[in-house]
Structure 1
Amino acid sequence: MRKAVLLTAAATAALLFGGTTTLAHAKTYTQHGNALANYNVNKYKTVKNKNMFVKRYTFQQSYSNIFQTSPTSISSTKGKKVTFKSNVFLPVTYNRSADWGNPQSEVLTKDGKTLYELITTSSQSTEGWIVRYNLGALRSKFGISTSHMDALRRATYDHSVNQMTSTDKAIMKYIKIGPKFNTGHGQSLAMNPKNGQLWFIGAPVKIHSNVQQVSTKTLKPTKKIKFMLKNTVTMGSNLTFDKKGNAYFFTYSNGGWAPKGAVKIYKGKINKKSVKFHLVMQGLRYRPGTKPQSIAYNVKRNRLYFVSDSSISSVPVSKLGHLKAKQVEATNLNGKREFEGIQFTKNGAGYLMTNKGAELMKTTTNKF
């Protein structure tokens, strides 16, 4: 049985520096022993999915004027047919030019009415914050997805130049901006649909990692669980949950006992004071693209999605570990945008977050 040790930030500071602190932050649990179950590498296999790899490219921007009023679209060029059309043009500037220009991950509630966006201070930064949007109100009251698609960006830009109108101020009442904190890479913000908890991976791609719970009200971390998968396995930088509360992340193989470039899938649980994961003993032989950007779950189709730039692959959760090649769906898309993540509502509508500039793009079909 693994033991977990509870330390508040205040207690930790006292132990390290021999003093006390007046402000206690997130509770920290330190898990002992490996969080990853043992496995036999000789039993690991991959399914030979169709190779839909897209290599890294120079990201393109979607606009000539940041205050866009008309939607653009990106469409599949190969594989499963899909088109994404602009639905919400997200803010780019709030205090200074492009300070909201580095979105890293998104969480969309199952009704599609609330969006959590994690933004870092720069593309290489490990510090950032979360913004919560009441999309339901912003759509119905201000037409941000229809008649006034520039309204969100104008409101935050007007804030940066201290020229907010009454409409700008009304819009900002439906946007909550959280405090800055250490986000890690920031790609992993995810909501567990079973309990409504928000989590992210605070130290990805390291032997010693952590996951942190974030308050949906204050938008700041309230709990940290520190752990090690095992001393030869590093944590991925993406995270999602299925309807049963199972957690997933994926990485690419560097070679060795698994083919180089194969997608390794990990499944587990994030509990109150500890985590546990196991390697799914069948991966994908071919990865979608150069960089793993995000992982997502579609409750309507019960599928996991592996997101890279301009390339998305998906698999049925019920077939994990014994997939057939025909069950792996994959799509290549045009536009050369940076893909930050995808989320699905309960009816299967997909919302892809792209950058340059930041926006939500909605599928034109609910069957992706």
Structure 2
Amino acid sequence: MKKAVLLTTVAAAALLFGGSTTLAQAKTYNQKGNALANYNVKKYKTVKNKNLFVKRYTFKTSYSNIFQTKPTSIHTTKGKKATFKSNVFLPVTYNKSADWGNPQAEALSKDGNTLYELITKNGSNRGWIVKYNLGKLRSKFGVSHSHMDALRRASYDHATKNMTSKDKQIMKYVKVGPMFNTGHGQSLAMNPKNGKLWFIGKPVAVKTNVQRVSTSSLKPITKINFKLKSTVTMGSNLTFDKHGNAYFFTYSNGGWAPKGAVKIYKGKIGSKSVKFHLVMQGLRNRPGTKPQSMAYNAKRNRLYFVSDSSISSIPASKLGKLKASQVEGSNFSGKREFEGIQFAKNGASYLLVNKGAELMQATNNKF
């Protein structure tokens, strides 16, 4: 890895939702040189995967009453078959109406019992992380089956200052982090090898950074400033495989790579520096208009590329030598906004969608 210079900065953490402030020590590393390995553009190729592109559309809401008690579902219309059903209706109001209505990313623990949700403040690059103890919320309060409205009611009652004793018990299993500069916020990802939580602070930029977030305080504790190279911008998504390798993807604007092709980058994010290389084979056809997120399924050892109502995936072991038949893709009904997908170690898949915010689970563990 490139040598990094350590700088120690003291930054005031933003106002906590309870009304107090804290002062945080943030370690910042400035990486010298390019973090992206050199490559020969003439050697770049794409695999001609099936075109399951979904155009940008107007997002639809899933509810007439926000306090839903029954699950909704979305299903595939083309490609690999899958059905997702509502599993947890996430809060949309906490301090004031719809202030939690803009989720951008999710990170899930291996056992599927802890969810980290990154929410941004509407119209800004600032936001916060909410940590849910899903295991307790499900077992004690039935938020995934018998009392699906309980979590949203508890957070709403917090906003109206009308919390019941049950509401207070529920909210003990919901931790709200402080506000900080999140960038777009799409890239929150957990490295399953060491349990570290990262996000890209300045996506779609040449001079960029990755930041590590404490899983206890839910605020950034490390920042690594770097550039890939002067002509390459950082993607807006991030994931890690079981070996600790980091990945992101972008769409090609044309030139030496076909316009719209999915370009995949693989590398390592260390404690002080990062390094990436371009995988010299991409996907000819992207899933949709906007790259919403990237994910990894350890059970199937596959990488996922998420766009709205369209998800593609590839076997990680075949990266760089893919055949078209190895690329899976699915289009979905519903016209929801797809924010991300995560997988538990048993292969259970959880899709984060918006309007309103909810976690949807696939009806089988084979997606």
What's 2:167 paired with? 168
- CA contact under 8 A between 2:2 and 2:274: conserved in structure 1? no
What's 1:99 paired with? 99
Is 1:32 aligned to 2:32, yes or no?
Answer: yes
Is 1:215 aligned to 2:241, yes or no?
Answer: no
What's 1:145 paired with? 144
Instruction: Name the CA distance, whole Å, in 1 between partners of 2:10 and 2:334.
Output: 48
**SS class of match (1:168):** helix
What's 1:19 paired with? none
What's 1:289 paired with? 288
For structure 2, the 5+ residue unaligned runs are 12-21
Q: Shift of residue 292 of structure 1?
A: 0.1
Q: Shift of residue 300 of structure 1?
A: 0.3
What's 1:58 paired with? 58
Instruction: Name the CA distance, whole Å, in 2 between partners of 1:180 and 1:47.
Output: 42
For structure 1, the 5+ residue unaligned runs are 12-21
Sequence identity percentage: 80
Q: Shift of residue 10 of structure 1?
A: 3.3
- CA contact under 8 A between 1:8 and 1:24: conserved in structure 2? no
State the TM-score, normalizing by the size of structure 2: 0.96
Instruction: Name the CA distance, whole Å, in 2 between partners of 1:129 and 1:121.
Output: 8
Instruction: Name the CA distance, whole Å, in 1 between partners of 2:26 and 2:186.
Output: 20
What's 1:18 paired with? none
Is 1:350 aligned to 2:343, yes or no?
Answer: no
Is 1:363 aligned to 2:362, yes or no?
Answer: yes
Instruction: Name the CA distance, whole Å, in 2 between partners of 1:88 and 1:246.
Output: 30
Is 1:79 aligned to 2:79, yes or no?
Answer: yes
- CA contact under 8 A between 1:187 and 1:238: conserved in structure 2? yes
Q: Shift of residue 9 of structure 1?
A: 1.3
What's 1:14 paired with? none
Instruction: Name the CA distance, whole Å, in 1 between partners of 2:24 and 2:307.
Output: 38
What's 1:320 paired with? 319
Instruction: Name the CA distance, whole Å, in 2 between partners of 1:320 and 1:175.
Output: 38
Q: Report the residue type matching 1:272 in the other structure.
A: S
Instruction: Name the CA distance, whole Å, in 2 between partners of 1:180 and 1:9.
Output: 18
State the TM-score, normalizing by the size of structure 1: 0.96
**SS class of match (2:158):** helix
Instruction: Name the CA distance, whole Å, in 1 between partners of 2:341 and 2:159.
Output: 29
What's 1:128 paired with? 127
Q: Report the residue type matching 2:99 in the other structure.
A: D
**SS class of match (1:348):** coil
Instruction: Name the CA distance, whole Å, in 1 between partners of 2:297 and 2:124.
Output: 29
Q: Report the residue type matching 2:134 in the other structure.
A: L
What's 2:43 paired with? 43
Structure 1 runs of 4+ with >2 Å offset:
22-25
Instruction: Name the CA distance, whole Å, in 1 between partners of 2:201 and 2:24.
Output: 18
**SS class of match (2:204):** coil
Q: Shift of residue 24 of structure 1?
A: 5.0
**SS class of match (2:154):** helix
Q: Report the residue type matching 2:175 in the other structure.
A: K
RMSD: 1.0
Q: Shift of residue 247 of structure 1?
A: 0.1
Q: Report the residue type matching 1:165 in the other structure.
A: T
- How big is each residue's C-alpha offset from its partner over 1:223-266, in whole Å with a ceiling of 9 and x where there is no partner? 00000000000000000000000000000000000000000000
Q: Shift of residue 2 of structure 1?
A: 2.4
- CA contact under 8 A between 1:35 and 1:277: conserved in structure 2? yes
Instruction: Name the CA distance, whole Å, in 2 between partners of 1:36 and 1:108.
Output: 28
Q: Report the residue type matching 1:362 in the other structure.
A: Q
Q: Shift of residue 272 of structure 1?
A: 1.1
